[in-house]
Structure 1
Amino acid sequence: MAKWLVKSEPSECGIADFARDPEGVIPWDGVRNYQARNFLAQMQEGDEVFIYHSSCKHIGIAGIVRVVKAAYADPLQFDPESRYFDAKSSADKPRWQAVDLAYVRTINPLISLDRLKSLDGLTDLPLVRKGNRLSVMPVNEDDWNTILTLDATAKRH
Structure 2
Amino acid sequence: MAKWLVKTEPSECSIDDFAKAENQIIPWDGVRNYQARNFLKEMSEGDEVFVYHSSCRHIGIAGIVRVVKSSYPDPTQFRADSPYHDPKSTRENPRWQAVDMAFVRKLERLIPLDGIKSMQGLEGLPLIRRGNRLSVMPVTEEQWRIILASA
Summarize deviations over 1:21-49 as a string: whole Å, max 9, x none: 47321000000000000000000000000
Task: Report if the CA contact (8 A) 1:22-1:102 is conserved.
Answer: no
Instruction: State the secondary structure of the residue aligned to 1:147.
Output: helix
In structure 2, what is the equivalent of residue 87 of structure 1? 87
Conserved? CA contact 1:27–1:101, under 8 Å: yes
Per-residue CA deviations over 1:133-156 (Å, capped at 9, x if unaligned) read 0000000000000001011xxxxx
Unaligned runs of 5+ in 2: none
How many correspondences in the alignment? 151
Q: 1:141 to 1:86 in 2, by over 3 A?
A: same
TM-score of the aligned structures, taking structure 2 as reference length: 0.98
**Structure 2: how far apart are the matches of 1:24 and 1:62?**
16
Mapping for residues 49-68 of structure 1, pairs under 5 Å = 49-68=49-68
Kindly provide the amino acid, as one letter, of the partner of residue 27 in structure 2: P
1:80-138 residue CA offsets vs partner (Å, 9 max, x unmatched): 00010000000010000000000000013100000000012101110011111000000
Whole-angstrom CA distance in 2 between matches of 1:94 and 1:149: 39
Measured in 1, the distance between the counterparts of 2:79 and 2:124 equals: 37
Q: TM-score, normalised by structure 1?
A: 0.94
Written as runs of structure 1 = structure 2, the 5 A alignment for 1:82-121 is 82-121=82-121
